[in-house]
Amino acid sequence: MGYPHKPHAKETALLSKHFGDPDARTYKGWAKRGGYEAWKQAQTMAPAAITDVVKESGLRGRGGAGFPTGLKWSFMPKEKKKPHYLCVNADESEPGTFKDREIMRWTPHALLEGTLIAMRAIQAEVGYIYIRGEFTEPYAIMEQALAEATKAGVLGGHKIHLHRGAGAYICGEETAMMNSIEGKRGNPRIKPPFPAAFGVFGMPTTINNVETLAAVPHILRQGAAWYKAMSLSNPKSTGTKLFSVCGHVRLPGNYEVTMGFPLKDLLHELCGGMRPGRTLKACIPGGSSVPILNREESEGCLLDYEGCVEKGTMLGSGGVIVFDDSADMVYQIMRLARFYAHESCAQCTQCREGTAWTTKILERILAGQGKMADLDLLLDLSDNMTGKTICVLSDSCAAPVVSGIKKFRTEFEDYIAGRKQPVMVA
């Protein structure tokens, strides 16, 4: 169900099938809908066998990086010498992304079930679900669901903790999250060591996104081949993906489609197209951290990992931010840069200073005090901020700036040349 909208015929509702149905939230309701069947099945399987099924399904991480999930699980030590941990990334703080929130709101048991299966696959006895601090309602729902599942005895000796974030974007970065869980400041760690060797509390750890884990029970129940067959374009991108669409469309919301679905159809059909009299100008397909697409690129983009890369962007988290022709791209990009400047953890020089400087330059351009040289400076600065830091927050700030200047340069030049009314930036 295409909550909060009516389902669209072109959607493939797998994870979102029960969105909007409060009965599915409860343990009883979930069990009635086939809940925890996959978990029962998993308990009869060897951990390596579960990993193999997920590997075979082609499932890739839905948090942003798109790393093959089964492969990630297989990095965990086979012979268990220390406690293993699973961390579930429910921090979902990427601007434009709100899919995990809906999974937790409507199908909390789907996440718990996927979590339990993953824990068995990686031989973890303890799991942490790290929930974004602002998600008060999803947290309460998850808490309730966990209590019910515990009471029903489905955890099978596994321990799951819900851990609330405190509002930092960076805690969605997996190594920062582990620090945060440990009670430390949420600073990303240098890699190596990788989490599978030295993760939370220094123990082998796997971190998976909510949507990734919610897909796992379906894969177990219906088989890897079935899941793998769900692919409209590139066979390396399989299954369904939730897209959180926001911005200038008539029907913003979460939409679940099969991998390889055309972005054009998502925007113009599922989301009802632009507002009356407006045309599509730009689109960020994978959350605020990925390069911006112009109209032509957007309308030719197929929504899977490879399709997005082909257009010079990334599938990311699937947070689709849509801009119509009324959007001021300079202002929008400044807002994104300001977000990153605010959220930089302050460890790496390029990020700490670069995100703030980028913001200042953009604010100055908006105020009508920019110089043409500022554009080259922004590009050079962005180059300095790309690929040189511990995590990719700095790169994420640079991505929209670089693609924005490349694709919408005249809008910047209009401010600088005084052809456009300066904007007071609060």
Partner 1 sequence: MPDELINLTIDDVPVSVPQGTLVIEAAKQAGVLVPHYCYHPGLAVAGVCRMCLVEVEKAPKLQIACATTVAEGMVVRTQSEQAKQARMGVLELLLINHPLDCPICDQAGECELQDFVFQEGRPGTRYAEYSKRFNPVEDFGPDVLYVPNRCILCTRCVRFMEDLAGEPVINVSERGDRAYIGIHPNARLDHPWAGNVVDLCPVGSLLSKDFLHKARAWELDKTASICTGCSQGCNVTLDTRENVVVRVRPRPNLQVNRYFICDHGRLNYRWMNRGDRIEAPLVRRHATDWDEALSRAATVLRGAGGKAVALVSPRTSTEALFLARRLLARFEWTGAFQVVMGDEAPLPGVPDLALRAERAPNARGAELLGYSRDYAAALETSRTAAVVLVIDEPDAAIETAGTLLYLGTVLPESAHGAEVVLPIANVAEEDGTYVNRDGRVQRYFQAKPAPGMARPAWWVLSELLAQVDGAEHCASAAEAFDALAGSTDAFQGLSYAGLGAAGQGITAKAGARA
How far is CA 252 from each of CA 197, 244, 245, 343, rounded to the nearest angstrom?
A: 41, 8, 5, 26
Interface ranges with partner 1 (CB under 8 A): 168, 185, 190, 341-350, 352-357, 360, 364, 377, 384, 387-390
User: Torsion angle, CA of 334/89/4/292, rounded to 10 degrees?
Assistant: 30
Minimum separation from the CB atom of position 381 to partner 1 (A): 8
Distance CA 268, CA 263 (A): 8
Specify which residues 89 forms β-bridges with: 130, 209
Distance CA 108, CA 213 (A): 11
Cβ pair 40, 219 in contact under 8 A: no
How far is CA 47 from each of CA 62, 184, 227, 268, rounded to the nearest angstrom?
A: 22, 31, 20, 43
Q: Is 425 left (phi over 0), alpha (psi -120 to 50) or beta?
A: beta
Please name the residues in contact with 296: beta carbons below 8 A apart, sequence gap of 6 or more: none
Minimum separation from the CB atom of position 341 to partner 1 (A): 5
Q: Which of 363, 352, 361, 346 is nearest to 385 (CA)?
A: 352
Minimum separation from the CB atom of position 292 to partner 1 (A): 23
Closer CB to partner 1, 228 or 352, in the complex: 352
Closer CB to partner 1, 252 or 370, in the complex: 370
Minimum separation from the CB atom of position 168 to partner 1 (A): 7
Closer CB to partner 1, 153 or 183, in the complex: 183
Closer CB to partner 1, 21 or 353, in the complex: 353
Distance CA 204, CA 196 (A): 5
Minimum separation from the CB atom of position 192 to partner 1 (A): 9
Closer CB to partner 1, 179 or 298, in the complex: 179
Closer CB to partner 1, 306 or 353, in the complex: 353
Closer CB to partner 1, 313 or 344, in the complex: 344
Minimum separation from the CB atom of position 190 to partner 1 (A): 4
Closer CB to partner 1, 33 or 185, in the complex: 185
Closer CB to partner 1, 221 or 364, in the complex: 364
Distance CA 146, CA 152 (A): 10
Distance CA 62, CA 5 (A): 23
Minimum separation from the CB atom of position 343 to partner 1 (A): 7
User: From the CB of residue 330, how many other CB atoms can be counted at a distance below 10 Å?
Assistant: 24
Minimum separation from the CB atom of position 380 to partner 1 (A): 8
DSSP 60: B
Closer CB to partner 1, 121 or 391, in the complex: 391
> Coil, strand or helix: which one is 90?
strand
Minimum separation from the CB atom of position 378 to partner 1 (A): 10
User: From the CB of residue 133, how many other CB atoms can be counted at a distance below 10 Å?
Assistant: 15
Cβ pair 303, 241 in contact under 8 A: yes
Minimum separation from the CB atom of position 401 to partner 1 (A): 15
